[in-house]
Amino acid sequence: MNNIQEMTVGAMVVADYRTAKVFSKYGVDFCCNGNRSIEDACLQGNVNLQQLKEELENVTTSAPVKDTVNDYNSWPLDLLADYIEKKHHRYVKEQLPVLTGYLDKIGNVHGEAHPELLQIKKLFGFSAAELFGHMQKEELMLFPYIRQLALFSDGKGEKVIAPFGTIQNPIRMMTNEHDSEGQRFRAMRELSDNYTTPPDGCNTYRTAYSLLDAFEKDLHLHIHLENNILFPKAIALEQKLFA
């Protein structure tokens, strides 16, 4: 761990997902901008490198609680794609209409006193539309190809010709869309003062912000699994099989 500052943020979280909480505490993006070194991330975010390093070391040297840490990096690609689709995609699809409803309600009631709610509602509306289309592209195009690559690699399937050339093309599109979502949610967190309910906020207000916070945290893990694990491994596997 002596050269921890030279590691990328994404690589650190891949090695031990418990470090994600530390990065989140300091506002360091580990999913969309996980390709930065920890030192660069600290410089860009005005974060004390030594303090962050100490907290990361405390986390990584402590014994993990049984059954609470999944070693996603060891999973086969088809299993990881299935997991992302069945857990994270399903969660997004279930929560989008719920959150839209809550944001509509608090916007109608509190929007005059808190105009930032109307901006948050607008941003989330963009996210809802973009995420739905994004997941469709993954489920209908990218993930099936990744599963076929995994089968062919195991000698259980036929060689498949991708309709999009190299897998790097759709992955580039997906990561760009991830970046856009990261920017939108950073804006929503800033507008809401880290999802802090104002003194005049009602229970619905608190519930909306709590759900939005949980949605963002799930999205961070969702994007991390794709950007830092699934996509790089899929690119490497395609190159290995068809180079």
Per residue of the chain (243 residues), what is the pLDDT tens digit? Answer: 446 767 899 999 998 888 998 999 998 989 888 889 999 999 998 999 999 999 999 988 887 655 445 789 999 999 999 999 999 999 999 999 999 999 999 999 999 999 999 999 999 999 999 999 999 999 999 999 999 999 999 988 788 888 888 999 999 999 999 999 999 999 999 999 999 999 999 999 999 999 999 999 999 999 999 999 999 999 999 999 987
Residue 176 to residue 137: CA distance in whole angstroms: 13
Distance CA 209, CA 215 (A): 10
- Delineate the domains of the chain, giving CATH numbers in brackets: 4-61 (1.10.3910), 72-242 (no CATH)
The model's pTM is 0.88
